[in-house]
Structure 1
Amino acid sequence: MTTVTTTKETLFQRFDNYQPSKSILLWACGMTAVATMVIGFGWGGWVTGGSALKTAAAAGELAKIELASAVCVDRFRTAPDSAAKLVELKNLSDSYKKRQFIEAGGWALMPGQSSPNGRIAESCSAALSA
């Protein structure tokens, strides 16, 4: 009688001996590319060029308003009757009237502009009222 001995391959041996077909390799590459994009755009913080431009434009506009508001506050505080005007501004009831007060005083009018910017005046009045 002949005895047959079979040895069971270990996981590492099976991995070394595995030879995938071309279709499996193509599917694995494709799924890896898709998974990379899903993870990158979903959780990795990747953005498209268009959304990056929109974000940069919004940040630039906000920075411009903040800078102009600081100029407005400086102009208001260096005015000759700023203490009385500040009391008058703080006594106004709502933000719309405060914005109109800043616009009427000319403090929100930036060089090169023909009319004051409402967002600058609103930000300026909020900074002065605080």
Structure 2
Amino acid sequence: MTFPEWTKPGIYGAVVGAIAITVFGFNWGGWTTHTKSQALAAEMSENEVTMAMVPVCMDMAATDPERIGKLAALRDLSGFDRRNAMMETGWATRPGTDTPDRDLATACLTGLGLDGS
């Protein structure tokens, strides 16, 4: 069986084209693998849960009898010290857990207007 003269270049062109489309799709076309899409979904859901908990943090801050002293202490600090102090206030602890959440502490500082140093 003989093949037409254009068969070999046609096959090479198809292979190179498939590789080029794949590289383009994954790098610039927005294609993702299953693992990467699951990681992105997990990150997005964690961020949304944190944002949903900010009103709870704000309510805990508003009803705390020691609010004024704690806010004054937070204003005196900056950066990581401020976030760590927010975690120590107990306002950044999600209901049902015993440990404060670092991301929630950062979001609560933003909600309280204390994020700028």
Q: Same fold (TM over 0.5)?
A: yes
Of residues 27, 30, 45 in structure 1, which corresponds to 2:30? 45
- Structure whose alpha-carbon radius of gyration is higher: 1
Q: Please tell me whether the aligned partners of residues 95 and 122 of structure 1 are also in contact (alpha carbons under 8 angstroms).
A: no
**Structure 2: any 5+ residue segments left out of the alignment?**
none
Match of 1:15 in 2: none
Match of 1:113 in 2: 97
Of residues 92, 107, 111 in structure 1, which corresponds to 2:76? 92
RMSD: 2.6
Q: Helix, strand or coil: the match of 1:91?
A: helix
Match of 1:24 in 2: 9
- Distance (whole Å) between structure 1 residues aligned to residue 80 and residue 28 of structure 2: 41
Q: Please tell me whether the aligned partners of residues 99 and 125 of structure 1 are also in contact (alpha carbons under 8 angstroms).
A: yes
Identity of aligned residues (%): 25
- Distance (whole Å) between structure 1 residues aligned to residue 69 and residue 32 of structure 2: 47
Q: If the length of structure 1 is used for normalisation, what is the TM-score?
A: 0.65
**Structure 1: any 5+ residue segments left out of the alignment?**
1-18
Match of 1:66 in 2: 51
